[in-house]
DNA sequence: TGTGCTGCTTGATGTAAATCAAGTAAATTT
DNA sequence: AAATTTACTTGATTTACATCAAGCAGCACA
């Protein structure tokens, strides 16, 4: 359970974490299992956890006045899930996070996170790298969302996250791209024809 | 020139930086003036600098095959400008950055940045906070871009960055929102009618 | 074996916004 | 001051995409 997390930390920081340091991290993160459709965060409440996904898949989304879901982010093994804004500022979230598959998570609260950042320099560095990557990924997502037509959006998705197409239903992928499921289906057909 | 930067650092970290520590920072950042329309980064080249804007305004944008500009970010006094992906990975950028007004900048290269992060814990903390904020801002931008119709996008802009409406021409604001200048003009009229 | 879900496709219709085009006003250049 | 460019608006037309609606296939479960 923690072994995968340890590997992840080594990899992302290009280091080998010591037993002593990993001890701190292990203490800060609790194991949490979630069944499909269970919620990690409900709109209106403050985000409790920063969650590392060991197994399974999740989605981070909002619901508008008309009841439409808008997925801002997916998460799979080796990804983090949280509403950072809500977690850091301790403000009510406008988002939901739930499990798309049965999940095994490692979760830490905001305080535990701050504590472990102080105790483990490697974890601190990891947090930094993570923010950087997250920042860059979001930048690219903004770019795609502003510049691309729906077929370009889909092609971009197919290129960057080909596994998502197998793993998630098309209506969710459509929501992620900001297009309707029908358009998704039609554009997909059109692309495959080539 | 550096005084504004020093204030900024104090503010964002909620600390008071020592002379000794600020010395390191001052050494890492060079003063750079730019005339309106001058480029800090050209598409295809590797981003040289992380730039702190002391005075003036800039834009970060791409140009598509049809020659249309897509602005992903504006920058004004107290904001940072760079293509982080290109700077950190030292890869060619797909973006341009140029000055919308005459600018005074403080610039550091990637190495200088790494060095000053090592030398100054406060600067390191600042970098961390910055990434966090940047991440959150981009998250919200993704959300707006996926969920909002064009009038909601404009209202969102008016709420979050009211000064931009005075400062930047409408065609650029339209580009930033991912809508056409004509739509911007019409939607704006419609909103003001209320 | 049926009854209802869920996921996906396809066609018909509607609509928001892009594009095209023209014109005015303001700012810059000469 | 005239000429040119840039910024913005307004109307007409087109287009991409959403919405509405129906139908089908696979799966769950009773």
The residues spanned by each domain of chain A are: 2-119
Extract the tokens encoding A184.
């998704």
Report the C-alpha dihedral over residues B59, B64, B70, B76, rounded to 10 degrees.
Answer: -10
**Could you give the CA distance from residue A2 to residue A25 in angstroms, rounded to a whole number?**
10
**Size of the A and B interface in Cβ pairs below 8 Å:** 77
**Could you give the CA distance from residue A187 to residue A190 in angstroms, rounded to a whole number?**
5
Tens-digit pLDDT profile for residues B97-154: 999 999 999 999 999 999 999 999 999 999 989 988 998 998 899 999 889 999 999 9
DSSP-assigned beta bridge partners for residue B41 = B97
Q: Cβ–Cβ of A147/B84 closer than 8 Å?
A: no
The distance (Å) linking the CA of B9 with the C1' of D2 is: 51
| pLDDT band (50, 70, 90) for residue B66 | confident
A62 SS3 class: strand
The pLDDT of residue A194 is above 80 = no
The distance (Å) linking the CA of B182 with the C1' of D12 is: 13
Q: Average pLDDT, stretch B62-76?
A: 91
Give the count of alpha carbons within 13 A of B48, CB side only.
11
Nucleotide minimizing C1' to CA distance for residue A183:
D17
Nucleotide minimizing C1' to CA distance for residue B186:
D9
Assign a CATH topology to domain A2-119: Jelly Rolls (2.60.120)
Nearest CA in chain A to B139: A138
The pLDDT of residue B161 is above 90 = yes
Decide if A85 contacts A110 (C-beta within 8 A). no
The span from the first CA to the last CA of chain B, in angstroms, equals 43
DSSP state of A47: P
Q: Average pLDDT, stretch A102-120?
A: 96
Domain at B2-147: CATH architecture: Sandwich (2.60)
Tens-digit pLDDT profile for residues A37-64: 999 999 999 999 999 999 999 999 999 8
Q: Chain A interface, mutation test: which of B131, B144, B175, most A Cβ atoms within 10 Å?
A: B131
Closest residue (Cα, C1') to C8: A185
**Could you give the CA distance from residue A91 to residue A106 in angstroms, rounded to a whole number?**
22
What is the overall mean pLDDT for chain A?
Answer: 94
Q: Average pLDDT, stretch A154-161?
A: 96
| pLDDT band (50, 70, 90) for residue A135 | confident
């Amino acid at each position: 359970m923690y072994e995968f997390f340890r590997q992840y930390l080594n990899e992302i920081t290009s280091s080998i974490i010591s037993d002593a340091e990993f001890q701190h991290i292990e203490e800060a993160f609790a194991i949490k299992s979630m069944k499909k459709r269970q919620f990690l965060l409900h709109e209106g409440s403050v985000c409790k956890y920063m969650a590392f996904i060991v197994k399974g898949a999740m989605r981070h989304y909002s619901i508008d006045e008309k009841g439409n879901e808008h997925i801002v982010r997916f998460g799979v093994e080796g990804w983090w899930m949280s509403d950072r804004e809500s977690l850091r500022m301790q403000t009510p979230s406008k988002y939901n996070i739930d499990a798309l598959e049965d999940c095994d998570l490692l979760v830490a609260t905001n305080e535990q996170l701050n504590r472990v950042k102080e105790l483990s320099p490697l974890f601190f560095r990891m947090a930094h790298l993570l923010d950087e990557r997250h920042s860059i990924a979001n930048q690219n997502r903004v770019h795609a969302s502003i510049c691309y037509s729906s077929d370009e959006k889909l092609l971009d998705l197919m290129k960057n996250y080909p596994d998502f197409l197998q793993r998630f239903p098309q209506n969710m992928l459509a929501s992620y791209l900001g297009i309707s499921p029908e358009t998704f289906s039609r554009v997909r057909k059109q692309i495959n024809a080539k």
